Structure 1
């Protein structure tokens, strides 16, 4: 039996049900294999008093210290995130907080390996803990953990050191693996792609979904956190130049007010909807109903929104970022566009003008499945344990 301790600062909770939902799904798949046992440690970073009194931090503080989450045993220890330090102390403070917790866990659950699901701060903390408990460590790169933390002056050295010390490295795409190497980490990296829940995505009839949501006009969906990096403003300005085309922006975040103001300035409030954050269970209908999923991110690893849209039979329009060229391989999959509103408008119009072919679109992500994802992760972690003990 392989005993895995999953360390994930990116993991859903009652206040953030969509936060790291792909890590949750991956972990559920791994735990569902008959020869694997999993315990999850999902640390919650909080600033010191009095910043911790802010409403969003109060909600996080109220989370249970331990709970059963969708059948998984999950610990949610708090650790200190010092503001205005560029993240310099995140990993050492996390490791210090986790050491006594893992000592207690190990007395009941003799984990064989630590699986760090985000490169920072999870990765450096996992390396310190792996040495303390004498177990191998795997670190997975997903996007901003390398693109930001791997190059930021306060944390880049920590990321490189963790990458060099890890017993195994995973990346969500081939391009993400190349980005790891670009930070100066000279190690083999295994590509470990995300999965798709095909019982939900791809099983919804487009006409039925559109009727259910009351959609009649051509619809573009832009799906992601309302932050500048996701580029919703670019998609908004692009759709403004396409008469009769509607846009639903799905996500929450600090850019909501600015996007609302831009919608008012453009006078397109009748065509654009700010949907806020939606439960992940609502996305299959929405993605099936859309004609295009457009996301103008400045950086990505392999966005789950891309593959879930394609699995729903909906083409995507995205910049040449991250694994874009690994998923947009045919016209049926969509277009790769320069990251500006004019280019996005042209690409969206091109997709809308072509005959929809949901079968061909879904075929572009046939290789993605949670079952395969779970088996590959088990094999990867098991091999690390065998090498370490050998």
Structure 2
């Protein structure tokens, strides 16, 4: 079997200045490359910005991103594209494709004449990739990951562009079945809709001694609850604080650690004060995986109070470290939390409902070894095998057609 050449395309990909941005895309690709049957180059565009200065925040990071780099053995190009104010949402697919076109041509000119484009995130990335696939006469797969299909199709023009890209793609991939149900409901061919879930790195995320980790992190009190993710409304960190306030009535030693950074930070801190739990809540900011490992191992449970999720990686990361989860019963989450040892699902997204589920989980007793064993059923092997079968089939069809 010949080596498949894959062009991975997404704005969701880590760089030297944003090392955790889109790390789930890089992880899936790295696991695929371990098969030895695939060769890949990555085109990960970033918005154009004129200068790098700390005062510009993420925009400064865009400017500081190198034009090309190598990450974990992967060659990555970061072409610039124009992200226009106000009209950016509707114009982004075209400006993204135009910005990346020269980089894709460069790869071909240098001898990497790829078999297919593997795009991640349906809008604008998947639509841009569909344009590139048309221009370069290449087949295409697009992976949906969450808000790209459970939120963006609410907007009429992006929805039409998503439908066009789905018709152009040889296959659409969802990290959970619920996302492919969206495309099925929009009338797309079920034969071209595939579910290839994310796995978890069982070596990177592994159980460490909870007592040792609590001592190392300077944590006292129990239970210790975590809420991990960007500090934005839909992640529901405010509900985690409300749940802690309810739980504190019967478990006054309970603590909550919120890991992440974002626009809601000041509001979350103010909410903790207003509910009288500020001394029980710690906001750490964003943390690297090595630190997350310690917190997951120290925690009694992870809370995920989101209003939307595709396949939330934090769920499996926590479970791989032995911490069960309490999560909103939405989208792909029931596909992850499907047994008592994994945790509990909450149908009503508010503080009291989460507090009740947390209390039920803790009263039943946390069996960290059972939770870890459950997570071990989510290795990357099945996803890698599914990709190889799908990509090989697409490449063979192209060969036969020519």
TM-score w.r.t. length of structure 2: 0.92
Matching residue of 2:365: 355
For residues 192-239 of structure 1, the C-alpha deviation after alignment (integer angstroms, 9 at most, x for no partner) is: 111111112234233332232233321000011000010100111110
Tell me the number of residue pairs that the alignment of Structure 1 and Structure 2 aligns.
Answer: 390
Matching residue of 2:284: 275
Check whether the contact 1:149–1:159 (CA below 8 A) recurs between aligned residues: no
Give the distance between the partners of 2:316 and 2:61, measured in 1 at CA. Answer: 31
Matching residue of 1:189: 193
Give the distance between the partners of 1:39 and 1:378, measured in 2 at CA. Answer: 16
Per-residue deviation at 1:19?
1.2
Q: Report the more deviating stretch, 369-378 or 123-132.
A: 369-378
Name which of 199, 206, 229 aligns with 1:224.
229
SS at match of 1:336: strand
Matched, 1:249 2:235: no
Q: Report the more deviating stretch, 323-332 or 75-84.
A: 323-332
SS at match of 1:222: strand
Matching residue of 2:126: 123
Gaps of 5+ in 2: none
Matching residue of 1:63: 65
Name which of 337, 350, 357 aligns with 1:340.
350
Check whether the contact 1:86–1:154 (CA below 8 A) recurs between aligned residues: no
SS at match of 1:129: helix
Q: Report the more deviating stretch, 349-358 or 69-78.
A: 349-358
Q: How does 1:73-92 map to 2 (within 5 A)?
A: 73-85=75-87, 87-92=89-94
Per-residue deviation at 1:86?
5.7
Per-residue deviation at 1:251?
0.5
Give the distance between the partners of 2:64 and 2:21, measured in 1 at CA. Answer: 17
SS at match of 1:314: coil
Check whether the contact 1:43–1:75 (CA below 8 A) recurs between aligned residues: yes
Check whether the contact 1:10–1:19 (CA below 8 A) recurs between aligned residues: yes
Give the distance between the partners of 1:224 and 1:183, measured in 2 at CA. Answer: 30
Check whether the contact 2:202–2:376 (CA below 8 A) recurs between aligned residues: no
Q: How does 1:1-390 map to 2 (within 5 A)?
A: 1-46=3-48, 54-85=56-87, 87-108=89-110, 109-187=112-190, 188-217=192-221, 218-243=223-248, 244-337=253-346, 338-390=348-400
Give the distance between the partners of 2:396 and 2:295, measured in 1 at CA. Answer: 44
For residues 149-188 of structure 1, the C-alpha deviation after alignment (integer angstroms, 9 at most, x for no partner) is: 2222231111111112100111101122212323443443
Give the distance between the partners of 2:207 and 2:324, measured in 1 at CA. Answer: 16
More helix by share: 2
For residues 8-30 of structure 1, the C-alpha deviation after alignment (integer angstroms, 9 at most, x for no partner) is: 11111233222111111111122
Give the distance between the partners of 2:57 and 2:398, measured in 1 at CA. Answer: 45
Q: Report the more deviating stretch, 365-374 or 33-42.
A: 365-374
Per-residue deviation at 1:62?
1.6
For residues 296-328 of structure 1, the C-alpha deviation after alignment (integer angstroms, 9 at most, x for no partner) is: 110001100011112222111111111222122
